[in-house]
Structure formats: C-alpha cells, structure tokens
Chains A and B, each alone.
Chain A
Amino acid sequence: MIYKELPKEGIPVTQARDIRSSDDIILDADVVVIGSGTGGAIIAHNLAVAGKKVIILEAGRYVPSSEFTEDMAWALENLYQDVGAQTNTIGDTVVMQGNCVGGSSVISATIATRAPDYVLESWAKDHGVEALAPNNIYPYYEKVERHLHVHLNEPHEINDCANAIIRGCEALGWSWRPQSRNAKQCALTGHCLAGCPSDRKTSMPVTYLAWATAAGVRIYSDTYVEQILIKNGRAVGVSGRVIDPKNQAVIANIKVNAQIVVSSAGAIQTPLLLQRSKLPNKNNQLGRNLSLHPTGVVLGKFPVPVYGWRGAFTGMHIDEFLGEKNGKMLMESGLAAPVQLMAQNELSMGVDHIRFMEEFKYFSALNILIPDNGHGFVHWSGPIRGGSKRIEWNMTKDEFALYKDGLKRAGRIFFAAGAERVYLPTYQRVQASSLEELDSIVDGIDYGSLGIFSMRLVSLNAQGSCRMGADRTKAVVDPYGQTYEVSGLFVSDASLLPTIAVQHPLLTVAALAHYISEQILTRHKGYFWS
C-alpha cells in the first residue's frame, strides 16, 4: 500500500451538497466504518494502510478547520450533537458529543491521558480482556501518544485559571499534575471546545483521517446510518440516508455492501444503531452499563482578575483523589467562553445575573468528574424512521454524596488560594463566601427525588454501553472487538469500555482502535475475500 499525496490542509469528503441525483447510492467496500471520531478514524486508517478498501460514513457535517470561528455558540450549532442540547430523558444532564467529521476529537479539550493502572488491571482481570492489562496496552498508548503529539503541559501552557487552583492545592498539600494534552505547538488561544482553527489540536481530521484519505479511504459526511444489514448472523453492510444539514431534507438513500462493519459512532449512538438493526440482545446488555462521567464546574471568584479563559484551556489536574481508594475523582482546571457559564452554572436573575457575568474575568473554574458506576442505559424507542433515543441516567445517592465531597474539596482549594466566593453548580443559586459557610451549604443540598434537577451536570465522556468482556452473558463485544451476536460486526469507540476509565477516554479509545484493527487483520482476516 502506498500513501497518495497528503493534502496540506483539509481532507476530501463527499458531502450532501456534492450529490446531484436522488438515485439510490450503492457502494462496495471491504470495510464500512460508521463514525469518523477517534475510534473510527484509526481503524479506517490502519485497515486502508493494510490494503483494504474502506468507506467512512459520518452523520455530522464536514467543517474544515479553516471555517472554525472560535465562537462557542457557533460551535454548538455546527459541531455538536443536537446543538449541544442532547440530554438524558429527565433533561437535567447535558450529554456532549461531537457531530462532525472527526467527531468528539474536534471539540475535545485536548486532554489525552491513560486510564489508571488499577482500571486497566480490573478490565483484564474482572472482565477478561487481557489485551487491556497495563503491559499489553502500553505499546498502543505509546504509539498513539507519538502520533498525536501527546505531552505534559509545559509551564507556559498552564494558565492563571490553573495557577489559582495549583496555589490552593499546594496550600492544602494536595497532589496535582500538569495536564497531558494532544496538541502540537499549542497557540494558547483557549478555544479548544470550539475547534482549533490553526490545526494545533491533533484531532482526527488533521491526523488519522487525513492519513486515511491519503491511504485511499473515502469519507461521506451528512450520512446517517439507519441500520446495519445482517444476513444469517453476519454483518454484510449498512443502509442509511444522506441528509442536507441545512434543512434536513433527504438527498438520497445510501447502501454500502461490506465484508466487515465497524461501528464507531460513540457510546450513545452505537448502541442505538445496534438496537435499530435488531441485533440479538439475549443477555439484555446492549445499551446498558452506560457511564456518563458526570461533570460539574465550581467557580472561584478572586479579588483580582484571573482572565481564566486565556491560555491553554486546561492546564492541570488534581490526582490526590484519583486513586482506587480515594474516590476515583478527577478534578481539573478549565474555563471557556461566557456561554460555558450558561450551560454549567445557575444564572441568577436580572441585575444579579448581569453582575455575576461581569465577574467573569475574576473566575477560576474547577471541573469535577465523578465516577458513576454504569447504571445508565440507552435505548431506541419506536420505528427505525421516526423513532427516538432515550438516555436513561440519574445520579445515585452514593454518587451524589461523592459529588458533594467534590464540591467541598473544590471550595477548600479556592478559599486556600484566596478566593472570596465560590459558586456551586446546582439548580438552585448556591454560593459560599467562607470556608465555614461552605460545609453547611453543601450539606444542605438536597438529593430530592432521585437526584433529579439537583446538580447541574454535563457529560463529556459517555462510555460503556456496549462493553467488551470475556463473559458473553455480561458483555456485548468479545475481547477482540467483535460483537458476540453478529459476526463481522466490530465496535471501536468508548462504548467498549468495560467500566468507567476514570480518566478521559480519548487516549484509551485510540489505543483500543489500534488493537482492534490488528485483531481484524490477523484473527479475523478470513472475513476478507480479497
């Protein structure tokens, strides 16, 4: 296999606007990959490099990075699933997900961290996925880290939002580390969540997808896969529709015949696709075990301006509470545009709201990520066309209690760093002006009925809804990436993770994609006719 010429910028993508006829589109490939995020891009690249004819179908639109605006509201409308308003069924937790060529890698905060060893060991030991044991997965991590320019932040990449938190940690004697990020020569603009217009974030469109197209992979955007075609227990292709992103009009039906199907649509969309495709679900695990890794943002208001949005979006994380016996709680710095406050904090009213917003430059932000235990589930309701998704998840009492611990820790850090006020992310307006006030205020936050509308939460790391494992009564996917119920159907995204990764899953998904592509080319090479 010889790479063709790599374009200097952008990638060739067939978009809805390129399709001139409403005739059905029928394509043939060795492999069809659904989704162009991290898991899909890497598999597509690796299989194409091995000489396979690969087609990627992406439901989102293709927005070249040259068109990125560094405007979060624009990004929500053009790069995020459901305009950034995808929520659980109750509507109190926003589930963020990329919906564009490159998927969530385009809108990620560039955090690229390995899962802790105790998590990897548990995946190997308790779930029988030997490939995920630390020593086995490390080579894959190393390869991805090399390809994506993953590095620990240098001092100049740690902004004053992070420095304020570091001051607090050091005053309290709590351990912290510079954030590990996938960025090359970061320009420190702070607009990661809206996409990087100078291509310094090593997202999929400027790395594996670009390389994949140079290796012959064809990408179709605006193409929504309705179902996987299954014949005699074997995946034989997919069918769907090309949809105009401007008006949702159907441009054409599309069918891809393939010897192998890989679903890389993410932990929300992959189980929905498999359910729409009537994948047998004998063990009732498909769509279950969903973890959202819920995130809340605590704001510390300092007496002098912090300008917390300037510099690299995320500078550091606190590893003091990350251990298996310390709560597996991840805390990290990160403050984005003013609209971020809309999504993650109670907004008060009237003059109070304007005054709150005018404090923006005085804020540092600490994100708390709680390890939920996979009690959520995703299911498709109704017919293939006209049905809808349901994301069932609400915070348990244990998670709620842990989250309150996180709020107290965040408050302590901010007060130790000299903050004069702390805003807590609840559906009521809750703030503390002193350490003494903090505990009683947090203790007073009520779980209410099933925790509904108690905490303002965002999920950035949905995972686990098609988990892999050696026990077919408990898993959807076998330890080599293939579904138990349908041969020739593989999964490569965060839905595979047996339990919560505790750290952000991007790097683990990337490592797994390398591993699964190797399995396809070795263990399952018999699937290919050519």
Chain B
Amino acid sequence: MSQQDSALAQLENQLASLSRRRFLKTGLVLGTTAATVLTLPSRAFAEGVPTYIRHLSEAEYRLFDKLRVVFLATERFPDLPSTTEVPVMENLDNMIGRLNSDTRFLLSLGTKSLEFSTLYKLKRFSSLSNEQALAQIRSWQSGLAFQGGLIVSLKTLLGIAYWRDPRTWQGLEYDGPVTAKWGIRRLGNMPLPRDDDEKKFDL
C-alpha cells in the first residue's frame, strides 16, 4: 500500500468520528482530497482485493462489489444461483480487462467519482449499508444525466457478468445454445458461385 493509500484509509476512519461542525469546517479540504483521489492510479489500492482480480482497482472493486449485492439481489429467488456461485466479480474483471484504453479510462474515472462522491456522508459508497447504497443509487439515477447514465452502464456490466452464466438461465426458461443439443448438421462453405458472368472461368 502506498503512502497515499494509507493516508486515504486513515482519512476515512477519521471522517467517521468528525462532528458536523468539524465536517463543515473541513469541507473544503475534503473536496480537494476527493479530487486528488480521482487522479490516483487505478491500481493504487491493492489490499482487500481478491487475488483473482487482475484488472479492477481497489476503488473499482469495492464499488462494483457493493453494487453487485444491491443490484443483483438473488437471495430471495431460490431458482437462481447466488452472485458468488456465479463468479460475477471474476467475470466482470475479465470483461473490463478487455475494454479499449479509452473506455477503460472513462470507466475508471466514473467509478472513482461515484465511490468517493459520498464522502460528505463520511463514508465511501462501498461503506454504506445496503439500504443506504440502494437509496444512493436511486438518487444518482434521478439526478444528473451523467450519473444516471453511468449507473446504468455499471449495472449493464454487472448484469452481463451474472446473466451470462448458464446456471442463471434455467430460472428464466431460456434455452441457451441449442445447435449441438438439437443435432443440427453443419452446412460448411457454400458452393462456388456459378453466375453467367463467372462461367467464363474454368470451374
């Protein structure tokens, strides 16, 4: 963990104990800190991230993991596998590792901005309770267009990471791949064309 990382973790702990008055006094400092955080390298925080995660930064991992719990609330649905049985975070990490650099950069910027935008509540987004997180997401979705759009994009990625797994399909009665199951014969390449103007060639 870098010096910046330690400082941020310490800051988060201290925030929890701040009184409202002290918080207001330090608001300016916090704003500056949050802005600084947005510019940190994506892999600046490695602690707490499972070893199978190769592409998500600590901030991204924490945000997505909280979003996973709140967005994909599978526990009340016995026909569906949980979001840990389906390796949602691993699937997500693999997908994000294949994004082009521009999209990856924007995603990184966006996730960090959301993760740290709740510092005024003295907590990072990922440290909120599930109920608080859900309310926060709904607030973002009905707020600025960019925030709402970003949340939908993040949900899209998480949704693909979950619903791509064949174990989730049974609950939807979705058939999945059928060609092999139905024994469909492969046609292979189509025969060479034999148009009139191509007959001049020796076929």
The chain A residues found within 8 Å of chain B, CB to CB, are: 1-3, 6-11, 49, 65-66, 69-74, 76-77, 82-83, 85-87, 91-92, 143, 146-147, 149, 184-185, 187, 189-191, 197-200, 202, 206-207, 210-211, 214, 305, 307, 309-310, 337-339, 341-343, 346-347, 349-351, 353-354, 357-358, 360-361, 388-389, 427-429, 448-449, 452-454, 456
Contact = CB atoms under 8 A, between A and B. Distances in A.
B178 interface: yes
A2 B192 CA distance: 11
24 contacts: A1-B201, A3-B203, A9-B186, A9-B188, A49-B201, A82-B99, A85-B103, A86-B100, A147-B190, A149-B190, A191-B179, A199-B190, A207-B190, A349-B71, A349-B137, A349-B138, A350-B70, A350-B134, A351-B73, A354-B72, A361-B172, A428-B141, A428-B148, A448-B145
B48 interface: no
Contacts, number: 191
**Residue of A74, A92, A361 ringed by the most chain B CB atoms within 10 A:** A92
B156 A342 contact: yes
A190 B179 CA distance: 10
Interface residues of B, number: 61
B149 A70 contact: no
A185 B187 contact: yes
B201 A2 contact: yes
Interface of B: 70-74, 76-77, 80, 94-95, 98-103, 106, 134, 137-138, 141-142, 145-146, 148-149, 152-153, 155-156, 159-160, 163-164, 168-169, 171-179, 182, 184-193, 195, 198, 201-203
Contacts of B193: 147, 211
Given A1-B201, A71-B177, A428-B142, A342 B160 contact: yes
B192 A211 contact: yes
A453 B148 contact: yes
A354 B80 contact: yes
Contacts of B80: 354
A207 B153 CA distance: 37
B140 to A, nearest CB: 11
B79 to A, nearest CB: 8
A309 to B, nearest CB: 7
Given A73-B160, A337-B174, A349-B138, 19 more contacts: A2-B201, A8-B189, A70-B176, A71-B164, A72-B164, A76-B160, A189-B178, A189-B179, A199-B186, A210-B190, A338-B172, A338-B174, A341-B163, A342-B155, A349-B155, A350-B71, A388-B101, A427-B141, A428-B148
Contacts of A146: 195
